[in-house]
A and B are shown apart, each in its own frame.
Chain A
Amino acid sequence: MNPIFKILSNLGNQVTSRIWRLGSATRLFLLTLIYSAESFKRIHLTIREIYFTGVMSLIIIVVSAFFVGMVLGLQGYYTLQKYGSSESIGVLVALALLRELGPVVTALLFAGRAGTAITAEIGLMKATEQLSAMEMMAVSPIARIIGPRFWAGVISMPILASIFSMVGVMGGYLVAVPIIGVDHGAFWSQMNVNVDFRFDVINGLIKSFVFGVACTIIALYEGYDAPPTAEGVSRATTRTVVTSSLTVLGLDFILTSFMIAH
């Protein structure tokens, strides 16, 4: 084959494959929504998954948030000091965490901590034919396996993002007020004046909800679609982190531009 045709053919194959995977993931998402009522009939399954995805991610979220807040406090202070507005450190820390870092870093950590676990678990279930066995017994794997994990991820993400932002603000406070010596009243009052509940807090929650849907459905799809081999599961787990991270960053830009425009 002519090399130019070969390159074009490879490119076309890549694009077709990507579109096919996107369609397949969308189909899984819609099926999950359709089977949601059936999934919620066994609410204990969703509660169990909230424990594994949400509660078990708490430590990494809290520790990361604390350090991110402390770094923001330190970096922000030294930058603001040059302009003589070191009292605005509280605003900087709060806005950075509420609008961007809270939802985005939580989603990235969630993809690494819980997303990989979901993919590996479902991939192994598929490799050991547990999903096929369920179908043989007329039990829908979407309702029984996918649905509870999906809703657990969607519920956990905004909770984790809220905790991240709050702990981050505390970390920023710890560095700015007791360590650097910024005035306690100035720290909180500047924050109160400049942070808007609807625009900053609610928009951050909306972002984390969207990231929760995206990260969880990617993790579920990669596991559900993984080739039933050890190598297939390992590749699917890697793809989960890469795809989730890129999707979160891309969605963040789109959501931010929509939120700023309105």
Chain B
Amino acid sequence: MDKTTLDIWVGLFVAIGIAALMGLAMKVGNLTSNTLGET
């Protein structure tokens, strides 16, 4: 497998991982600006 294809796959993998983490933070953990502010 050539280097560019490998890089694309790994980049996609990391992007999916970050998207999943963001999804967990925003949708599941409800981490939005109003939850980070002082109460």
Given contacts A50-B10, A55-B13, is CB(A163)–CB(B31) below 8 Å?
Answer: no
Residue pair B17, A188 in contact (C-beta under 8 Å): no
Interface stretch of the complex, out of A142-150, A195-203, A218-226: A195-203
Given contacts A195-B30, A197-B31, is CB(A159)–CB(B14) below 8 Å?
Answer: yes
**A50 contacts across to B, CB distance below 8 A:** 10, 13
**Residue positions of A touching B, CB distance < 8 A:** 44, 47-48, 50-51, 54-55, 58, 94, 98, 156, 158-160, 162-163, 165-167, 169, 188, 191-193, 195-197, 200-201, 205
Residue pair A162, B9 in contact (C-beta under 8 Å): no
**B27 contacts across to A, CB distance below 8 A:** 169, 188
Residue pair B28, A55 in contact (C-beta under 8 Å): no
**A188 contacts across to B, CB distance below 8 A:** 27
Docked complex: B1-39 residues within 8 A CB-CB of A: 1, 3, 6-7, 9-10, 12-14, 16-18, 20-21, 23-25, 27-31, 35
The 5 residue pairs across chains A and B that have the minimum distance between CB atoms? A159-B17, A192-B30, A197-B29, A166-B20, A162-B20
* A185 nearest CB across to chain B (Å): 13
Residue pair A98, B20 in contact (C-beta under 8 Å): no
**Residue positions of B touching A, CB distance < 8 A:** 1, 3, 6-7, 9-10, 12-14, 16-18, 20-21, 23-25, 27-31, 35
* B11 nearest CB across to chain A (Å): 9
**B25 contacts across to A, CB distance below 8 A:** 197, 201
User: 26 interchain pairs (CB within 8 A)?
Assistant: A47-B6, A47-B7, A50-B10, A51-B6, A51-B13, A54-B13, A55-B10, A58-B16, A98-B28, A159-B13, A159-B16, A159-B17, A160-B17, A162-B17, A163-B20, A165-B20, A165-B28, A167-B20, A191-B30, A192-B28, A192-B30, A195-B28, A197-B35, A201-B24, A201-B29, A205-B21
A-B contact count (CB 8 A): 75
Assembled-state Cα–Cα distance A191/B27 (Å): 9
Given contacts A94-B28, A192-B30, is CB(A58)–CB(B13) below 8 Å?
Answer: yes
**B16 contacts across to A, CB distance below 8 A:** 58, 159, 163
Given contacts A166-B24, A201-B29, is CB(A158)–CB(B17) below 8 Å?
Answer: yes
**B10 contacts across to A, CB distance below 8 A:** 47, 50-51, 54-55
User: Which of B1, B6, B21 is A162 in contact with, Cβ under 8 Å?
Assistant: B21
Assembled-state Cα–Cα distance A44/B7 (Å): 9
Assembled-state Cα–Cα distance A169/B30 (Å): 14
Residue pair A191, B28 in contact (C-beta under 8 Å): yes
**A167 contacts across to B, CB distance below 8 A:** 20
- Which residue in chain B gives the minimum CB-CB distance to A90? B28
Assembled-state Cα–Cα distance A47/B28 (Å): 30
